[in-house]
Amino acid sequence: MPTFDSQRLWPTVVAVGVLGIGGFVYAAIGYVERTSDAAFAEFLVATASPTSNPAPLAQQPQQGGTGCPVGKRKLPTQLIPLR
């Protein structure tokens, strides 16, 4: 019966571990590249401008001194120092 030699086993264990981690990293990078290409293509389709009669963007009117409908006060004209 062969004897168990742990000193000869460790290089094999390390090699299998490195190959396993390398394979996982390779698969993860491939997955990210494929999903990025698909997402970018979907983004291009969604943001493509229509070729026939695009609708003009609606402009919101300025309301009050700040342009905010809630804040109808004027903008400050002097700076107040902090104490």
Q: How many domains does the chain have?
A: 1
Evaluate whether 65 touches 74 at the Cβ level (below 8 Å).
yes
pLDDT tens string 24-34: 999 999 999 88
54 located within any domain: no
38 located within any domain: yes
Burial 11-47 (b: 16+ CB within 10 A, else e): eeeeeeeeeeeeeeeeeeeeeeeeeeeeeeeeeeeee
19 located within any domain: yes
18 located within any domain: yes
Nearest to 71 by CA among 62, 59, 80: 62
41 located within any domain: yes
pLDDT tens string 42-72: 888 888 766 655 555 566 555 545 555 566 6
Domain membership of residue 37 as a residue range: 10-48
Cα–Cα distance for residue pair 81/75, rounded to 1 Å: 17
Write down the pTM of the prediction. 0.45
24 located within any domain: yes
26 located within any domain: yes
